[in-house]
A and B are shown apart, each in its own frame.
Chain A
């Protein structure tokens, strides 16, 4: 009788959200309402800003995938990754200008072949660079406490920055402006320039290639096995060291591709930009669920959009309501890092990640 009385009442809803979940959803809800109001106020501007966001997001996706690949296999935040990306951009700028002799405003098929050539060189260089970093700075510490490789990663990042500083100096370097700025389309006040579309056009096949590599190929299978259990895959005859090197190679190649696209799209680059951009890309990877490839792309697109909205939208009015302006470009980093902290607090496994026993 007594036990019967103590039985807890059956909840009305089978799913009972926790307090933090409610709070998190409320935050997301407020932002969504604000975005919808902005869309209604200035539809053409809003769509155009979204397209800019997708373009930036595509570049972030390439970098974020590098973080997520490495984290998936070694559980290591490769702080040097952003700087590999930056060096890729600088190399691309140099190769495009001095080897292929491109000049700003140049057109014709030779430009396309040169861009493809630069892309391949940059990818190869960054891939080898990233794999060598792993060999020098991370592999000797694989049995050490987790703190150790993180500290060498920071050290490596500073070393790469200073290599670029010694190479190109402390100022922004100009990159040849060869991507055409003419519009792909211009409908109802929404225009989209070729240089943005080309970034997306180069990103998509690279992403598909990567997905195929990881999901279908033999080496990809080895990567996934190593990520799951290093010791077990070693016992199954997988060469763990080679697989890890291969992962770093792929991650570096992606960073190289991103470096080229960034250099051509933004047309200037500085030695310390890689670290900042790398942190944003890392946030994207965490947002999507670190270790999860589609998640990294999704997170990167979201971060790209958030950045574009923050920097592009302004105060407007709709239905007599004044829609407040976002904080603006000076606060982009703070917003991105706040998102990072909020994600880690409310949903540490990310949007598409799985909840791990360690709780991320």
Chain B
């Protein structure tokens, strides 16, 4: 028996379309014909809507018109029906648009209410959080384990970068592949590229260490343990300048560790490639742009790993555990090992993201790792659609944009146009709370759901209550 679901806001529209389709094509049209009809209708709607929205708002702003034409050209025609190359058209075109973003973002139009397009520094943060959201999606979306302390892995990644690429441990002087640092500067100075890998493995290791004792607990206990762990981490970071009175300065306390070294390829590679590869990211002329492109590369790597993991033997075991733990165990899926791998996998990407972010900001502070951030990342996964990597990315980009620029812009618009005086960014986490609540109540599968997850939420769990819960 399917759980009674509230009707989606698009359901009435869909029914009308069905009626229209039957009237135009007759009752027994072939699926191909119906698909073509639907596509034609969608194209028509997009064209008309675009004309209606864009024309009055922008007065035929060429940038807006171009953006609308490009997106229509990309998403309306049936590109995927071209044999062989067809299925690559949309991803490749999207990727090209993303990579070219630094060149056209400041000539873009202003979106009503939301304001201008995000700048490149915001774009880097958006991509970093997209990476974290994809990592958390492995734990929450694939394996169905609620992790409320994901920020801990982000913290471990950040502090790994900070420890081994700054003057924090000044009584040692170790240099290896760092850029822009004089050879006599004290402290560890390891190349950020190596530290990304180190942070990933360290986070994964910590994930396993936390996971082993706690993963045998049931889901909600796991949630609270991860939450506890996520609360302990920033406290260690905050009090770590004098560990239990021993005088050992691990984290430099509330002052944080700063500056963190910059990533870069060094002078030799810079010269050999004719200046294509920057020698030092932070001092490069197009500093934000190179950080942005590298972040795009890291996100692509994360997406690739995540997709391959999902379709692997391990990934299928995760999904089996998520759908029915008992049945999965009965089929021979080793629960503990599989869950621990999910944990480690999620932590891995959290670590990379944390280390890269620390190197981008050039600093690490304990205040960056509050519980709020864990919830924000969870909110990205839930909003986008648990289990669907594309949904999660969209959720992450959108929410990080709101966090960095969007809410301030929206607030300014509201206060100006409605005569209000609200500090909208102050209520950011209340807004995230509302998003969590509304999405779980009305569209638990998220905005862009994976078909499988959607079915689970519609079917519900197997022990259906006998009594009616809907009144």
Give the shortest distance, in Å, between A262 (CB) and chain B (any CB).
Answer: 20
Asked if A152 and B436 make an inter-chain contact with CB atoms under 8 angstroms apart, the answer reads yes
| Given contact pairs A154-B148, A334-B232, A159 touches B378 in the complex (Cβ within 8 A) | no
Which of A150, A325, A358, A359 has a CB less than 8 Å from the CB of B223?
A150
CA distance A341 to B433 in the complex (A): 26
Select A348's contact among B217, B219, B440, beta carbons within 8 Å.
Answer: B217
Instruction: Please tell me if the beta carbons of A331 and B235 are within 8 angstroms of each other in the complex.
Output: yes
- Is the Cβ of B235 less than 8 Å from the Cβ of A151? no
Q: Which residues of A contact B464 (CB under 8 A)?
A: 143
Known: A148-B440, A154-B375, A340-B224. A161 touches B429 (CB 8 A): yes
Chain B residues lying within 8 Å of A340, measured Cβ to Cβ, are: 224-225, 228
B244 at the interface (CB under 8 A from A): yes
The residues of A that contact B217 with a CB separation of less than 8 Å are 344, 348, 359-360
Distance between B151 CB and nearest chain A CB, rounded to angstroms: 14
In the complex, A235→B466 CA distance in Å? 8
Which chain B residues lie closer than 8 Å to A144 at the CB level? 3, 444, 457, 460-461
A: number of interface residues (CB 8 Å): 57
Asked if A84 is an interface residue, CB under 8 A from chain B, the answer is no
User: Cβ of B3: which chain A residues have Cβ within 8 Å of it?
Assistant: 143-144
Asked if A344 and B375 make an inter-chain contact with CB atoms under 8 angstroms apart, the answer reads no
* Contact assessment for B239 and A348 in the assembled complex, using a CB-CB cutoff below 8 Å: no
Given contacts A166-B427, A334-B236, contact A77 B220 (CB under 8 A): yes
- The answer to whether the Cβ of B382 comes within 8 Å of any Cβ in the partner chain is yes
Of A48-56, A133-141, A197-205, which stretch is located at the interface? A133-141
Is the beta-carbon distance between A152 and B232 smaller than 8 angstroms? no
| Other-chain contact of B429, A75, A141, A149, A162 (Cβ < 8 Å) | A162
| A170 surroundings in chain B (CB, below 8 A) | 426
Shortest distance between the CB of A354 and any CB in chain B (Å): 15
How far, in whole Å, are A235 and B465 apart by their CA atoms in the complex? Answer: 11
Q: How many A-B residue pairs have CB under 8 A?
A: 163
A111 contacts chain B at the CB level, 8 A cutoff = no
- Complex alpha-carbon distance, A348 and B216, angstroms: 10
A42: interface (CB < 8 Å):
no
| Residue B405 at the chain A interface, CB threshold 8 Å | no
Q: Of A142, A231, A279, which contacts B469 at CB under 8 A?
A: A142
| CB-CB nearest in chain A for B428 | A162
CB distance from A39 to the nearest CB of B (A): 22
Cβ–Cβ < 8 Å partners of B429 in chain A? 158, 161-162
The yes or no answer to A213 lying at the interface (CB within 8 A) is: no
Taken together as a complex, chains A and B put the C-alpha atoms of A345 and B6 apart, in Å, by 40
Chain B residues in 8 Å Cβ range of A162: 427, 429-431, 433
Residues of A within 8 A of B216 (CB): 359
Chain A residue with the shortest CB-CB distance to B244:
A327
Within 8 Å by CB of B434, from A141, A155, A344, A348, lies A155
Question: Is A147 a contact partner of B232 (Cβ separation < 8 A)?
Answer: no
Which residues 435-456 of B have a CB within 8 angstroms of A? 435-437, 440-441, 444, 456
Once the chains bind, are B430 and A158 in contact (CB under 8 Å)?
yes
Indicate if the CB atoms of A156 and B437 lie closer than 8 Å: yes
**Contact of A157 with B by CB under 8 A:** yes
In the complex, the chain B residue whose C-beta lies closest to that of A358 is: B218
B339 interfacial by beta-carbon distance below 8 Å: no
* Distance A149 CA – B228 CA, assembled complex (angstroms): 19
Contact A139 B440 (CB under 8 A): no
CA distance A95 to B456 in the complex (A): 47
Known contacts being A158-B429, A159-B434, A337-B229, is A146 close to B214, with CB within 8 Å?
no
- B362 to chain A minimum Cβ distance, whole angstroms, is 27
Is there a chain B Cβ closer than 8 Å to A97's Cβ?
Answer: no
B469 to A, closest residue via Cβ: A142
Residue in A150, A158, A333 whose CB lies within 8 Å of B146: A150
Let me know if B227 is at the binding interface, CB within 8 A.
yes
**How many Å from the CB of B252 to the closest CB on chain A?**
15
Does residue B238 face the partner (Cβ distance < 8 Å to A)?
Answer: yes
Residue of A nearest to B470 (CB): A140
Across-interface contacts of A166 in B (CB, < 8 A): 427, 430
Q: Are A159 and B437 closer than 8 Å at their CB atoms?
A: yes
Q: In whole Å, how far is B371's beta carbon from the nearest beta carbon of chain A?
A: 8
Given A141-B441, A154-B375, are A234 and B466 also a contact pair (CB < 8 Å)?
yes
Q: For the complex, is B467 an interface residue (Cβ under 8 Å from A)?
A: yes
Q: Enumerate chain B residues within 8 angstroms of A75, measured Cβ to Cβ.
A: 220
- CB contacts (< 8 Å) of B247 on chain A: these are none
Interface code B144-172, partner A: CB below 8 Å = 1, 0 otherwise? 10101000000000000000000000000
In the bound complex, CA of A108 to CA of B231 (Å): 43
- Kindly supply a per-residue 1/0 record for chain B positions 408-442, scoring 1 wherever the CB is within 8 Å of any chain A CB and 0 otherwise: 00000000000000000011011111111100110
B213 CB–A CB distance under 8 Å = yes
Bound form: Cα–Cα A151–B444 in Å:
10
- A76 in the interface, Cβ–Cβ < 8 Å? yes
Bound together, the chains give a CA A67 to CA B44 distance in angstroms of: 54
The answer to whether B375 and A152 touch across the interface, beta carbons within 8 angstroms, is no
Residues of A within 8 A of B432 (CB): 155, 158
* B interface residue numbers (CB < 8 A to A): 3, 140, 144, 146, 148, 213-214, 216-221, 223-225, 227-229, 231-232, 235-236, 238-239, 244-245, 371, 375, 378, 382, 426-427, 429-437, 440-441, 444, 456-457, 460-461, 464-467, 469-470
In the complex, 9 of the A-B residue pairs with CB atoms within 8 angstroms, ordered by the A residue number, are A145-B461, A151-B382, A158-B436, A162-B429, A275-B371, A331-B235, A333-B231, A334-B235, A341-B225
> Apart from A141-B440, A162-B431, A360-B217, what are 15 other A-B pairs with CB-CB below 8 Å?
A77-B220, A77-B223, A140-B441, A145-B144, A147-B219, A149-B440, A150-B219, A152-B441, A155-B440, A230-B467, A231-B466, A330-B239, A341-B225, A345-B214, A359-B217
Seen from chain A, the residues whose Cβ lies within 8 Å of a Cβ on chain B are 75-77, 137, 139-152, 154-159, 161-163, 165-166, 170, 230-231, 234-235, 240-241, 275, 279, 282-283, 286, 325, 327, 330-331, 333-334, 337-338, 340-341, 344-345, 348, 358-360
